[in-house]
Amino acid sequence: MQTISRRQLVGAACASALGGGLPWAHAQDAERIGILMLHGKNPAAPTAPVFAPQKRLFEQEGWLVQLPDMPWSYNRYLDGNWAQAMAEIATHVHSLRSQGATRIVLVGHSMGAPAAMGFAAGGGDVQALVLLAPGHIPKGYDEWPGLKPVHDSIAHARALVAEGKGDVRERFTDINQGRQLTAVTTAQHYLSYFDPTSDAEMSVTAPKLPAQLPVLTVVGEKDPLFTRLRAYYVDSLPANPHTQYLEVAGGHLDTPRIAHEAVVRWIQGAVQTAVKP
């Protein structure tokens, strides 16, 4: 796996490094890339300025793009369970296919990153992953002292399930970028998102990803997970010559904007090596 630091991203060198030297000439004649953008967690939504502008920029590349309202958005938080979220992703991928997409790339920001990984690890139809400022860390919530309120909610949800009350709606705690949230849902649904052994946990899904699937992870130097992300899941990704780890300036919310050109170059290269579905 190639690691690219911010200092290496200078002018044309950035495009060359992230293109990986892979051929791109005439690829758009043979392939139609479909981009499914998965936004971050509440208070994020499809219209949020953190991620929404990238949709138009991807479309300018001639790509088919969708940015749907997912169950963890401000509008829906939390709607249903993790399996239902994966089913929604499959529906959106099918829609891109029906429009003519020949290769599918999931581009997830924050919570969208573990969702993209979970879909791919479950055998979903996807040929490349772009994970921008990955967030939502059930294992961290359960183990790190500063996130104890979520740890306590996980324990409470487990107790409710053990008592046969897993389908009763309750109030549970989440923390997103230091902001405490309340999720009104059932214990079973909450655990599908927050149990550290579930497929919502990146350290669980990373080693399950297909070896032929290229993955780009991008993290900002001011992101809370900047110093932890490699050990958390990146180093557990299957070996792939086009999987890359990229460090950029800025923080969690800046990453989609700052990394956009690098992401486009990487997709243009990675799509050439993706296994044809």
**Helix, coil or strand: residue 179:** strand
> Running DSSP on this structure, what letter comes out for residue 276?
P
Interacting residues of 73 by C-beta distance below 8 A, sequence separation 6+: 39, 41, 42, 44, 45, 46
Give the per-residue pLDDT at 56.
97
Give the per-residue pLDDT at 1.
78
Mean pLDDT by 10 residues, the chain (277 residues): 62 41 40 96 95 97 98 97 98 98 97 98 98 98 95 98 97 95 97 98 98 97 97 97 97 97 95 62
> What is d(CA 256, CA 237) in angstroms, rounded to the nearest whole number?
22
Structural domains of the chain, with CATH: 2-136+204-273 (3.40.50.1820), 140-199 (no CATH)
Give the per-residue pLDDT at 270.
85
> What is d(CA 85, CA 242) in angstroms, rounded to the nearest whole number?
28
According to DSSP, the residues that pair with 170 across neighbouring strands are 185
CA 261 to chain centre: 18
> What is d(CA 146, CA 228) in angstroms, rounded to the nearest whole number?
15
> What is d(CA 128, CA 115) in angstroms, rounded to the nearest whole number?
13
Give the per-residue pLDDT at 17.
42
> What is d(CA 168, CA 105) in angstroms, rounded to the nearest whole number?
37
Query: For residue 86, how many C-alpha atoms fall within 13 Å in the half-sphere facing its CB?
Result: 19
**Could you tell me how many helices (H) and strands (E) the chain has, helices first?**
12, 9
Give the per-residue pLDDT at 27.
44
CA distances from 20 to 209, 242, 245 (A): 21, 7, 13
> Running DSSP on this structure, what letter comes out for residue 164?
T
Which of 154, 168, 71 lies closest to 112 in space, CA to CA?
71
Which of 199, 12, 33, 225 lies closest to 132 in space, CA to CA?
225
Alpha carbon distance, N-terminus to C-terminus of the chain: 23
CA distances from 145 to 57, 152, 158, 172 (A): 40, 11, 19, 18
Token reading at 260? 């956009």
Give the per-residue pLDDT at 163.
98
Give the per-residue pLDDT at 6.
62
Give the per-residue pLDDT at 271.
79
Which pTM does this prediction carry?
0.91
Which of 157, 154, 53 lies closest to 107 in space, CA to CA?
53
Give the per-residue pLDDT at 4.
74
Fill in the amino acid letter for 21.
G
Give the per-residue pLDDT at 209.
98
Within a 10 A sphere around the Cβ of 58, how many other Cβ atoms? Answer: 22
